[in-house]
Amino acid sequence: MTTYKLPPIQSSEITPRELFYNRRRFMQLAAGASLTALFSDSVLAGEQLANVKKSTDSLADELTPYKDVTTYNNFYEFGTDKEDPSKNAGSLKTRPWTITVEGEVNKPKVFDIDELLKLAPLEERIYRLRCVEAWSMVIPWIGFPLAELLKQVEPTGNAKFIEFISLHDPEQMPGQKSATLNWPYKEGLRIDEAMHPLTLLTVGLYGEVLPNQNGAPIRIVVPWKYGFKSAKSIVKIRLVEKQPVSSWMEAGPNEYGFYSNVNPAVDHARWSQAKERRLGDFLKRPTLMFNGYGDQVAQLYAGMDLSKNF
């Protein structure tokens, strides 16, 4: 198994201790979690995840406060305002939940979410999240590399791309009652991107089960790409030979490309990507190539014209 070293981050960005350990909230959550544990063994949003390997990086960007991470979301399945998902996502039922993995694989399989949670050791990963709208956050996600799941299903030689399909159920996801995007939400990666150790199959954040508005019960996080590439509430993963077309590519082909790597040199059709506002900051900061993960991922795109393959 490959161990992976996360890129170092400036010490000036270390989180103040009290922000990280909001004791009061932790105590409340712990009390709530242990109470629920008496009655059921299913894992619900807000509960602490057990046996998580804490992030060992001594240097980290200042974490975006939990409240901002969970109330400022782009998740159009629950409405297009940033506050909509936190208000409306209560209708999402995350149990029972299965993820079908199919297509160019030797062992297609339907995974139950609780089975998936035990597939590989959970670890914490502190990643920057750069939205295509030029704001960013820093989030302590919990999950394991998507590669661990893919190994189980044995992709064939024809598996050149991977497609993620999110839940389509307007009863649970009221935003799907309007045709804002072509539902279900579809996203995709090249297979080498999907197998990259930074690509995280994510089930939690801030030590707890993923809140519904953040893509519960299971989502992908691809930290060197714009946020919309990281599909939420996934029900199906398909390995395919041809490059899939994502919902955003259908919505605006000249604005949203398949790759959508964070790139300060390639502007969105209607706004600049050179800078971003880290939530909580007043001044904008320069956006980093590949969102600062260039050392890890730049070689995936060697020789490619990134302004054409945006």
DSSP-assigned letters across all residues of 192-204: HHHHSTT-EEEEE
For the chain, give the longest Cα–Cα distance: 56
CA dist 230 → 32, 127, 147, 283 (Å):
30, 12, 15, 26
User: Per-residue x/- mask for another protein, residues 244 to 273, rule CB under 8 A?
Assistant: -------xx--------------x--xxx-
CA gap 146, 194 in Å, rounded = 7
CA gap 227, 275 in Å, rounded = 15
Residue 46 C-beta: closest distance to another protein, Å: 19
Nearer Cβ to another protein (68/192): 68
Quickly count: other Cβ atoms within 10 Å of residue 64's Cβ: 23
Q: Which stretch binds another protein (CB under 8 A): 159-167, 178-186, 200-208, 292-300?
A: 178-186
Question: Can residue 286 be called a binding residue for another protein (CB under 8 A)?
Answer: no
CA dist 218 → 221, 278, 279 (Å):
10, 25, 24
Nearer Cβ to another protein (39/282): 282
Residue 271 C-beta: closest distance to another protein, Å: 6
- Pick from 109, 99, 242, 244: nearest CA to 186: 244
Q: Which residues, numbered 119-138, are part of the site for another protein (CB under 8 A)?
A: 133, 135
Question: Can residue 76 be called a binding residue for another protein (CB under 8 A)?
Answer: yes
Nearer Cβ to another protein (49/181): 181
Nearer Cβ to another protein (8/252): 252
Question: Can residue 181 be called a binding residue for another protein (CB under 8 A)?
Answer: yes
268: burial class by Cβ within 10 Å (0-12, 13-18, 19+)?
middle
Q: Which residues bind another protein (CB under 8 A)?
A: 64, 67-68, 71-72, 76, 80, 82-83, 133, 135, 178, 180-181, 251-252, 267, 270-272, 274-275, 277, 279-280, 282-284
